[in-house]
């Protein structure tokens, strides 16, 4: 089945970002949490059908790929990050697609959704992105393991907000999920939300380390109850990162939370999404399960870096009929 729109496809790829009322959270409802189940075999069967159920071609594919770019958290989280690398990454975020390609597609300039860095690089990124409207996201709370002392994790959030980060990607304590201590997870997430202040908080569940899809569903719900603005799959450092079964579980938890509370929470798959065709599958799944409103940067992000390069190559192929070499689309 081909997913198309009656509107001009390319020109609708970049729309003004709409902002939602923030999720204020709610009291921990353990009855609701413990009632949550996950039929693993059914979820895996459904996920296995997804890559073949939707396809977009030609100008519609170009439109979806341009939309995907506006929802990328362009990321560098390496021990050898330098000021120069972060500045080059920010330059890429400011102009992720060659102007000649955008002109051929009759598109105005676009940017990525955000730039994501370690705390030490926040000021560099904020300076490099000044005037663009592209927010800086910082990983925090002892990323990626989340095992530093609690007071230091809180202080790290506060320092990152003070340095200019508008979004904070925190990591939860996996042990709370694995031991079923939902009260502890709720209190931890609530404290992180308070420390973030006006900065939006993305709760990284590290789903590859949670043991079961049921745990993923329950952890998703508890973090939303505690006020998470986004729930996110992975740090990108685990052996298993974003997958379609995990995504299905998490976005259905988001849908259930919205149905119950009226507040929309965002979703961010991260780690292992490097191909344009994979991005299209994720976007079609979001459209099917959550609807068009979630196809905006304030409610959906990809945590990625190499994904942008492959999308660029696909767009250039659409415009010119030829694939460019990968090295022409480096991230810095």
- Could you tell me the CATH number of the domain that includes residue 276? 3.20.20.70
- Rg of the Cα trace of the chain? 19
Q: Residue 332: inside a domain, yes or no?
A: no
Q: In the numeric block, which tokens belong to residue 236?
A: 């990108």
Does residue 16 belong to any structural domain of this protein?
Answer: no
> Could you give the CA distance from residue 301 to residue 232 in angstroms, rounded to a whole number?
9
- Tell me the C-alpha distance between 236 and 266, whole Å: 18
- Point out the residues that are catalytic: 169, 232, 268
Among candidate residues 101, 35, 96, 103, the one with its CA nearest the CA of residue 68 = 96
Spell out where the chain has E strands. Answer: 72-75, 114-117, 136-139, 167-171, 200-204, 230-232, 266-268, 302-304
Range of the domain at 85: 30-323
Q: Are 246 and 231 in contact (CB under 8 A)?
A: no
% pLDDT > 90, the chain: 86
Instruction: Please report whether residue 255 resides in a domain.
Output: yes
Residues 237-295 have pLDDT tens digits of 999 999 999 999 999 999 999 999 999 999 999 998 999 999 999 999 999 999 999 99
The CB density around residue 159, as the number of other CB atoms within 10 Å, is 15
Tokens standing for 75? 């990321």
CA–CA dist 145, 187 (Å, integer): 18
In a domain, 239, yes or no: yes
pLDDT, tens digit, for every residue of 289-323?
999 999 999 999 999 989 999 999 999 999 988 77
Residue 56 — very low, low, confident or very high, per pLDDT cuts 50/70/90? confident
Residue 307 lies in a domain: yes
Give the distance from CA 199 to its chain's centroid: 16
Spatial distance between the Cα atoms of 282 and 279, rounded to a whole number of angstroms: 5
Q: What is the DSSP string of 83-122?
A: HHHHHHHHHHHHS-S-HHHHHHTT------SEEEE-GGGH
**Is there a domain that residue 271 lies in?**
yes
Residue 235 covered by a domain: yes
User: Using CA of residue 120, residue 114, residue 81, residue 91, what is the dihedral sign?
Assistant: negative
How many separate domains does the chain show? 1
Per-residue model confidence as pLDDT tens digits over 199-249: 999 999 999 999 999 999 999 999 999 999 999 999 999 999 999 999 999
Tokens linked to 60: 């519609």
pLDDT in tens, 8-29: 445 444 444 556 899 999 999 9
Note the pLDDT of residue 330: 61
The string of pLDDT tens digits covering residues 64-92 is 999 999 999 999 999 999 999 999 999 99
Is residue 11 a part of any domain in this protein? no
């Amino acid at each position: 089945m081909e997913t198309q729109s009656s509107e001009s496809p390319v020109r609708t790829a970049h729309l003004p970002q709409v902002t939602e009322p923030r999720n204020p959270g709610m009291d921990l409802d353990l009855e609701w949490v413990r009632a949550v189940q996950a039929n693993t075999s059914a979820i895996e069967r459904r996920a296995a059908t997804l890559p073949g159920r939707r396809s977009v071609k030609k100008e519609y594919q170009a439109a979806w790929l341009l939309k995907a770019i506006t929802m990328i958290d362009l990321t560098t989280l390496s021990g050898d990050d330098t000021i120069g690398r972060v500045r080059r990454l920010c330059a890429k975020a400011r102009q992720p697609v060659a102007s000649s390609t955008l002109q051929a597609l009759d598109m105005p300039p676009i940017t990525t959704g955000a730039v994501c860095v370690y705390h030490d690089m926040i000021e560099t990124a904020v300076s490099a992105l000044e005037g663009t409207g592209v927010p800086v996201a910082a990983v925090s709370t002892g990323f990626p393991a989340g095992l530093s002392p609690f007071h230091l994790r809180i202080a790290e959030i506060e320092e990152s907000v003070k340095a200019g980060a508008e979004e904070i990607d925190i990591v939860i304590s996996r042990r709370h999920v694995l031991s079923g201590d939902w009260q502890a997870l709720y209190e931890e997430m609530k404290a992180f939300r308070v420390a973030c202040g006006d900065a939006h908080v993305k709760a990284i569940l590290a789903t590859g380390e949670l043991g079961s899809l049921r745990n993923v569903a329950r952890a998703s719900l508890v973090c939303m109850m505690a006020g998470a603005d986004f729930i996110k799959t992975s740090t990108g450092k685990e052996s298993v990162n974003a997958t379609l079964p995990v995504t299905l579980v998490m976005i259905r938890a988001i849908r259930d939370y919205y149905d119950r509370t009226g507040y929309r929470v965002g979703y961010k798959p991260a780690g292992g999404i490097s191909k344009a065709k994979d991005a299209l599958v994720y976007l079609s799944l979001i459209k099917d399960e959550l609807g068009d409103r979630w196809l905006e940067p304030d409610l959906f992000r990809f945590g990625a870096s190499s994904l942008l390069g492959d999308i660029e190559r696909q767009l250039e192929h659409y415009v010119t009929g030829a694939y460019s070499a990968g090295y022409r689309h480096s991230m810095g």
